[in-house]
Protein backbone atom coordinates (compact mmCIF):
# COMPACT_ATOMS: atom_id res chain seq x y z
CA UNK A 1 0.00 0.00 0.00
CA UNK A 2 1.04 3.58 -0.59
CA UNK A 3 2.68 5.18 2.47
CA UNK A 4 -0.07 7.82 2.52
CA UNK A 5 -2.61 5.08 3.29
CA UNK A 6 -1.05 4.19 6.63
CA UNK A 7 -0.10 5.79 9.90
CA UNK A 8 2.58 5.01 12.48
CA UNK A 9 1.06 5.16 15.93
CA UNK A 10 2.66 5.17 19.38
CA UNK A 11 1.48 2.83 22.15
CA UNK A 12 2.53 2.42 25.80
CA UNK A 13 3.59 6.08 25.82
CA UNK A 14 6.02 5.57 22.97
CA UNK A 15 7.59 2.30 24.07
CA UNK A 16 6.51 0.76 20.77
CA UNK A 17 4.88 1.80 17.50
CA UNK A 18 2.47 0.14 15.08
CA UNK A 19 2.07 0.78 11.33
CA UNK A 20 -1.65 0.68 10.59
CA UNK A 21 -3.95 1.25 7.61
CA UNK A 22 -5.32 4.78 7.59
CA UNK A 23 -8.88 3.80 6.72
CA UNK A 24 -9.20 0.54 4.83
CA UNK A 25 -8.42 -2.02 7.53
CA UNK A 26 -8.68 -2.74 11.23
CA UNK A 27 -6.99 -0.19 13.51
CA UNK A 28 -5.95 -1.23 16.98
CA UNK A 29 -7.00 0.66 20.08
CA UNK A 30 -7.78 -0.05 23.69
CA UNK A 31 -9.25 -3.50 22.96
CA UNK A 32 -5.76 -4.65 21.96
CA UNK A 33 -4.19 -3.10 25.06
CA UNK A 34 -6.74 -4.72 27.41
CA UNK A 35 -6.21 -8.08 25.73
CA UNK A 36 -2.44 -7.79 26.12
CA UNK A 37 -2.85 -6.77 29.76
CA UNK A 38 -4.56 -10.12 30.44
CA UNK A 39 -1.18 -11.86 30.04
CA UNK A 40 0.68 -12.06 33.38
CA UNK A 41 3.60 -9.64 33.66
CA UNK A 42 6.05 -12.46 34.38
CA UNK A 43 5.08 -14.48 31.30
CA UNK A 44 8.28 -15.70 29.64
CA UNK A 45 7.08 -18.24 27.08
CA UNK A 46 5.97 -18.39 23.46
CA UNK A 47 2.75 -16.54 22.67
CA UNK A 48 0.44 -16.79 19.66
CA UNK A 49 -1.51 -13.65 18.76
CA UNK A 50 -4.33 -15.14 16.69
CA UNK A 51 -5.71 -12.62 14.21
CA UNK A 52 -2.87 -10.24 15.00
CA UNK A 53 -3.68 -7.51 12.49
CA UNK A 54 -0.83 -5.00 12.47
CA UNK A 55 0.58 -6.46 15.69
CA UNK A 56 -0.50 -4.08 18.46
CA UNK A 57 -1.58 -6.69 21.03
CA UNK A 58 1.46 -8.92 20.57
CA UNK A 59 3.85 -5.98 20.76
CA UNK A 60 2.06 -4.78 23.89
CA UNK A 61 2.70 -8.18 25.49
CA UNK A 62 6.38 -8.03 24.52
CA UNK A 63 6.56 -4.48 25.90
CA UNK A 64 5.27 -5.68 29.29
CA UNK A 65 6.94 -9.12 29.38
CA UNK A 66 10.65 -8.80 28.75
CA UNK A 67 11.32 -12.52 28.24
CA UNK A 68 8.28 -13.38 26.10
CA UNK A 69 8.34 -14.32 22.42
CA UNK A 70 5.44 -13.89 20.04
CA UNK A 71 4.14 -15.18 16.73
CA UNK A 72 1.74 -12.77 15.02
CA UNK A 73 -0.75 -14.97 13.16
CA UNK A 74 -2.72 -13.10 10.49
CA UNK A 75 -4.77 -14.48 7.60
CA UNK A 76 -4.94 -11.34 5.42
CA UNK A 77 -1.65 -10.72 3.56
CA UNK A 78 -2.21 -6.95 3.50
CA UNK A 79 -2.60 -6.82 7.29
CA UNK A 80 0.36 -9.18 7.76
CA UNK A 81 2.39 -6.73 5.66
CA UNK A 82 1.52 -3.99 8.15
CA UNK A 83 2.67 -6.27 10.96
CA UNK A 84 5.97 -6.81 9.15
CA UNK A 85 6.33 -3.03 8.78
CA UNK A 86 5.67 -2.65 12.49
CA UNK A 87 8.43 -5.14 13.35
CA UNK A 88 10.80 -3.41 10.94
CA UNK A 89 10.49 -0.01 12.65
CA UNK A 90 13.70 1.17 14.28
CA UNK A 91 11.64 2.25 17.31
CA UNK A 92 10.66 -1.40 17.84
CA UNK A 93 14.17 -2.85 17.61
CA UNK A 94 14.14 -3.89 21.27
CA UNK A 95 11.00 -5.98 20.71
CA UNK A 96 11.13 -7.19 17.12
CA UNK A 97 13.89 -9.74 17.71
CA UNK A 98 11.38 -11.64 19.86
CA UNK A 99 8.58 -11.58 17.29
CA UNK A 100 7.72 -13.05 13.91
CA UNK A 101 4.76 -12.87 11.52
CA UNK A 102 2.98 -15.98 10.27
CA UNK A 103 0.44 -15.65 7.43
CA UNK A 104 -2.12 -18.33 8.27
CA UNK A 105 -5.86 -18.79 8.68
CA UNK A 106 -6.72 -19.24 12.35
CA UNK A 107 -9.71 -21.42 11.45
CA UNK A 108 -7.68 -24.14 9.72
CA UNK A 109 -7.89 -27.57 11.33
CA UNK A 110 -5.84 -30.74 11.56
CA UNK A 111 -3.05 -31.25 9.06
CA UNK A 112 -3.87 -28.04 7.20
CA UNK A 113 -3.35 -26.03 10.39
CA UNK A 114 -0.10 -27.81 11.18
CA UNK A 115 1.14 -27.35 7.61
CA UNK A 116 0.42 -23.62 7.92
CA UNK A 117 2.83 -23.41 10.86
CA UNK A 118 0.47 -23.79 13.83
CA UNK A 119 1.76 -26.97 15.39
CA UNK A 120 0.17 -28.92 18.24
CA UNK A 121 1.20 -27.86 21.76
CA UNK A 122 3.67 -25.35 20.35
CA UNK A 123 2.67 -22.28 22.38
CA UNK A 124 2.49 -21.40 26.06
CA UNK A 125 -0.26 -18.82 25.67
CA UNK A 126 -2.67 -17.60 23.01
CA UNK A 127 -4.46 -14.27 22.80
CA UNK A 128 -7.29 -13.51 20.41
CA UNK A 129 -9.68 -10.77 19.39
CA UNK A 130 -12.01 -12.68 17.04
CA UNK A 131 -14.43 -10.81 14.77
CA UNK A 132 -17.49 -10.03 16.91
CA UNK A 133 -19.83 -7.97 14.72
CA UNK A 134 -22.72 -9.71 13.04
CA UNK A 135 -22.99 -9.15 9.29
CA UNK A 136 -25.86 -6.73 9.84
CA UNK A 137 -23.89 -4.66 12.38
CA UNK A 138 -22.21 -1.53 11.05
CA UNK A 139 -21.64 -2.77 7.52
CA UNK A 140 -18.45 -1.47 5.91
CA UNK A 141 -17.42 -1.31 2.25
CA UNK A 142 -13.80 -2.14 3.13
CA UNK A 143 -12.93 -5.81 2.66
CA UNK A 144 -10.12 -5.75 5.26
CA UNK A 145 -12.43 -4.26 7.88
CA UNK A 146 -15.12 -6.83 7.10
CA UNK A 147 -12.62 -9.66 7.46
CA UNK A 148 -11.47 -8.32 10.84
CA UNK A 149 -14.86 -7.40 12.28
CA UNK A 150 -17.62 -9.66 10.93
CA UNK A 151 -18.10 -13.02 12.64
CA UNK A 152 -19.69 -16.19 11.33
CA UNK A 153 -21.98 -18.40 13.42
CA UNK A 154 -19.11 -20.73 14.35
CA UNK A 155 -16.29 -18.17 14.60
CA UNK A 156 -15.70 -18.55 18.36
CA UNK A 157 -15.86 -22.34 18.22
CA UNK A 158 -13.32 -22.53 15.37
CA UNK A 159 -10.90 -20.06 16.93
CA UNK A 160 -11.02 -21.82 20.28
CA UNK A 161 -10.56 -25.19 18.59
CA UNK A 162 -7.29 -23.90 17.15
CA UNK A 163 -6.21 -22.42 20.48
CA UNK A 164 -6.84 -25.76 22.15
CA UNK A 165 -4.65 -27.54 19.61
CA UNK A 166 -1.71 -25.15 19.68
CA UNK A 167 -1.52 -24.28 23.40
CA UNK A 168 0.26 -26.81 25.58
CA UNK A 169 -1.53 -28.39 28.56
CA UNK A 170 -1.76 -25.89 31.45
CA UNK A 171 -0.98 -23.09 29.02
CA UNK A 172 -3.04 -19.92 28.94
CA UNK A 173 -5.66 -18.26 26.78
CA UNK A 174 -7.07 -14.74 26.77
CA UNK A 175 -9.72 -13.31 24.50
CA UNK A 176 -11.81 -10.16 24.25
CA UNK A 177 -15.36 -10.09 22.96
CA UNK A 178 -18.74 -8.47 23.30
CA UNK A 179 -20.74 -9.47 26.39
CA UNK A 180 -23.43 -11.14 24.29
CA UNK A 181 -20.82 -13.70 23.15
CA UNK A 182 -20.14 -15.00 26.67
CA UNK A 183 -22.50 -17.98 26.27
CA UNK A 184 -20.78 -19.10 23.07
CA UNK A 185 -17.37 -18.58 24.66
CA UNK A 186 -18.16 -20.68 27.75
CA UNK A 187 -19.66 -23.41 25.58
CA UNK A 188 -16.55 -23.50 23.37
CA UNK A 189 -14.25 -23.54 26.42
CA UNK A 190 -16.03 -26.58 27.89
CA UNK A 191 -13.69 -29.57 28.01
CA UNK A 192 -10.83 -27.49 26.60
CA UNK A 193 -9.97 -24.61 28.92
CA UNK A 194 -11.03 -24.21 32.53
CA UNK A 195 -10.52 -21.88 35.50
CA UNK A 196 -11.97 -19.12 33.33
CA UNK A 197 -11.81 -15.60 34.76
CA UNK A 198 -14.30 -13.20 33.20
CA UNK A 199 -13.72 -9.47 33.55
CA UNK A 200 -16.51 -7.15 32.35
CA UNK A 201 -15.45 -3.80 30.87
CA UNK A 202 -17.84 -0.89 31.42
CA UNK A 203 -17.61 2.67 30.05
CA UNK A 204 -18.69 3.98 33.49
CA UNK A 205 -20.07 2.58 36.73
CA UNK A 206 -23.65 3.37 35.64
CA UNK A 207 -23.35 1.83 32.15
CA UNK A 208 -23.73 -1.69 30.83
CA UNK A 209 -20.59 -3.66 29.95
CA UNK A 210 -19.35 -3.21 26.38
CA UNK A 211 -16.63 -5.88 26.43
CA UNK A 212 -15.62 -8.96 28.36
CA UNK A 213 -12.09 -10.30 28.66
CA UNK A 214 -11.88 -14.02 29.40
CA UNK A 215 -8.72 -15.74 30.61
CA UNK A 216 -8.50 -19.51 31.05
CA UNK A 217 -6.08 -22.43 31.46
CA UNK A 218 -5.93 -25.39 29.10
CA UNK A 219 -7.03 -28.58 30.80
CA UNK A 220 -7.99 -26.93 34.10
CA UNK A 221 -11.25 -28.06 35.70
CA UNK A 222 -11.99 -25.17 38.03
CA UNK A 223 -15.33 -23.49 37.39
CA UNK A 224 -15.56 -19.99 35.82
CA UNK A 225 -15.45 -16.92 38.04
CA UNK A 226 -16.43 -13.31 37.42
CA UNK A 227 -13.74 -10.78 38.30
CA UNK A 228 -14.49 -7.23 39.47
CA UNK A 229 -15.42 -4.94 36.57
CA UNK A 230 -13.12 -2.42 34.97
CA UNK A 231 -14.62 1.05 34.53
CA UNK A 232 -12.96 2.94 31.69
CA UNK A 233 -14.09 6.37 32.87
CA UNK A 234 -14.88 7.70 36.33
CA UNK A 235 -16.99 10.61 35.02
CA UNK A 236 -18.45 11.91 31.78
CA UNK A 237 -15.39 14.09 31.22
CA UNK A 238 -13.91 11.63 28.70
CA UNK A 239 -10.69 10.97 30.58
CA UNK A 240 -9.70 7.42 31.45
CA UNK A 241 -9.86 6.18 35.03
CA UNK A 242 -6.42 5.68 36.62
CA UNK A 243 -6.73 1.89 36.31
CA UNK A 244 -7.82 2.02 32.67
CA UNK A 245 -5.05 4.50 31.87
CA UNK A 246 -2.44 2.23 33.44
CA UNK A 247 -3.71 -0.77 31.45
CA UNK A 248 -3.83 1.26 28.24
CA UNK A 249 -0.20 2.30 28.69
CA UNK A 250 1.32 -1.01 29.73
CA UNK A 251 1.63 -0.12 33.40
CA UNK A 252 -1.17 -2.26 34.77
CA UNK A 253 -2.39 -5.85 34.58
CA UNK A 254 -6.02 -6.64 33.83
CA UNK A 255 -6.17 -9.54 36.30
CA UNK A 256 -3.75 -8.11 38.84
CA UNK A 257 -0.71 -10.20 37.88
How would CATH label the architecture of 3-248?
Answer: 3-Layer(aba) Sandwich (3.40)
Residue 151 pLDDT more than 80?
Answer: no
Using a CB cutoff of 8 Å and minimum separation of 24, what contacts does 233-239 make? 233/203, 233/204, 234/204, 234/205, 235/204, 236/204
Give CA–CA dist 109/99, Å, rounded.
24
Residues 10-27: pLDDT tens digits? Answer: 999 999 999 999 876 778
CA dihedral for 1, 49, 27, 93, sign (positive or negative): negative
Packed helices 182-189 and 155-166: angle between N→C axes, nearest 10 degrees: 40
Please give the C-alpha separations between residue 125 and each of 149, 214, 228, 232, in angstroms, as whole numbers. Answer: 23, 13, 23, 26
Output the pLDDT for position 33: 97
Give CA–CA dist 34/244, Å, rounded.
9
Are residues 1 and 7 in contact, defined by beta-carbon separation less than 8 angstroms?
Answer: no
What's the mean per-residue pLDDT of the chain?
A: 91
Residue 154 pLDDT more than 60?
Answer: yes
Comparing 140 with 184, which gets the higher pLDDT?
184
Residue 198 pLDDT more than 50?
Answer: yes
Give CA–CA dist 91/209, Å, rounded.
35
- The DSSP-derived string for 205-229 is TTS---EEEEEEEET--PPPEEPPP
DSSP state of 42: T
Q: How confident is the model at residue 104 (pLDDT cuts 50, 70, 90)?
A: very high
Give CA–CA dist 145/132, Å, rounded.
12
- The DSSP-derived string for 231-243 is ES-SSTTSPPPHH
Burial of 168 per CB tally in 10 Å (0-12, 13-18, 19+):
middle
Give CA–CA dist 146/11, Å, rounded.
24
Residue 148 pLDDT more than 50?
Answer: no
Are residues 151 and 184 in contact, defined by beta-carbon separation less than 8 angstroms?
Answer: no
Boundaries of every domain in the chain: 3-248
Which pTM does this prediction carry?
A: 0.89
Amino acid sequence: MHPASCTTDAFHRGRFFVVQPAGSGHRAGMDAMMLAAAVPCDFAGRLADLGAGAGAAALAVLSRCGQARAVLVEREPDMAAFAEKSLALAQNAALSARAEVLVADVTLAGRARQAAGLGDNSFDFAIMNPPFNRGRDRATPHALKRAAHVMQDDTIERWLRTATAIVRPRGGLAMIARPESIGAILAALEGRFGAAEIRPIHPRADAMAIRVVVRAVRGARKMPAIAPPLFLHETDSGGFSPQADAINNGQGALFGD
